[in-house]
Amino acid sequence: MILKNFLINESIEDKGIFKALFLAGGQCSGKSTTLKKIMSGQISPRIVNIDKFIEYFVGNTGNNIYNTPLHDRSKILTKEQLYLYVNSLLPLIIDGIGFDVGEVKNRKKILENIGYDTGMIMVNVDREIALKRLSIRNAMGGRQVGLESFNRRHDGVEKSKPVYRSMFDFYIEIDNNDGMLTDDVILQSFKKSLSFFTSSVNNDIGNAIIDKMKEQNIKYLVPDIYSETQLKSMISGFM
């Protein structure tokens, strides 16, 4: 997996620039499935998720690589990927569980300081249904998750929801309990998420940067808006 020489051809005029949605929900809430159903082909957000690199190294075996060199390598690669995306102002999906409010606040602040508008999609699922899905996934050889870990994350997400509702100007919750992700729910969520990505940028930093880039025909943030060192320093604490 090589990130060097990774070229992005999007334009400053494209929809979705300087927009980032946090995707949150407890384990086995079905975040990835929900996201696929509500995203529009008009906008192609880049997904930032350290688990993708972890799976690249160890597969879906459930091997615990946290606090190991492989985990550190996954964090480095995720930040390198984020740098490439942000340098091109690309729309983002920050995929995570969201049980750690402090981590989400930190990532939100980093993106907004660069120029991004931020919002959140929270995928809800009842504990009993999530546990049933977890049992099926574990039995089928997916990444193994213990009950203690599951409960800690599920409880953390539930306690964090009121904070996120006040933290994000754009915030929606989607019910993904069995049979609840109906066509109507998908359509309404699709419309809301599309409106976020296609609306004008509200961030003052982002607007000032966009104006300068249009005026000077600049395509990337580096080197005319930020130096490479500056931008990498700004996202250094993301993971």
What whole-number distance in Å separates Cα of residue 39 and Cα of residue 94?
Answer: 14
Residue 148 has what pLDDT? 87
The answer to whether residue 6 sits within a structural domain is no
- Closest by CA to 87, choosing from 238, 239, 237, 234, is 234
78 and 106 Cβ atoms separated by less than 8 Å:
no
Q: Has residue 217 been placed in a domain?
A: yes
69 belongs to a structural domain: yes
C-beta separation of 200 from 13 below 8 A:
no
The pTM for the full model equals 0.88
Q: List, for residues 94-135, the tens digit of each pLDDT value.
A: 998 888 999 999 999 999 999 999 999 999 999 999 999 988
Burial class (CB in 10 A: 0-12, 13-18, 19+), 142: middle
- Look at residue 44 and tell me if it is in a domain: yes
Q: Domain for residue 166, yes or no?
A: yes
Collapsing DSSP to helix, strand or coil, 67 comes out as: coil
Average pLDDT of the segment spanning 60-67: 54
Residues 204-226, mean pLDDT to the nearest whole number: 96
Q: What is the CATH number of the domain that holds 159?
A: 3.40.50.300
Residue 146: name the closest of 135, 156, 155, 136 by CA.
135
Q: Give me the domain span that covers residue 170.
A: 19-234
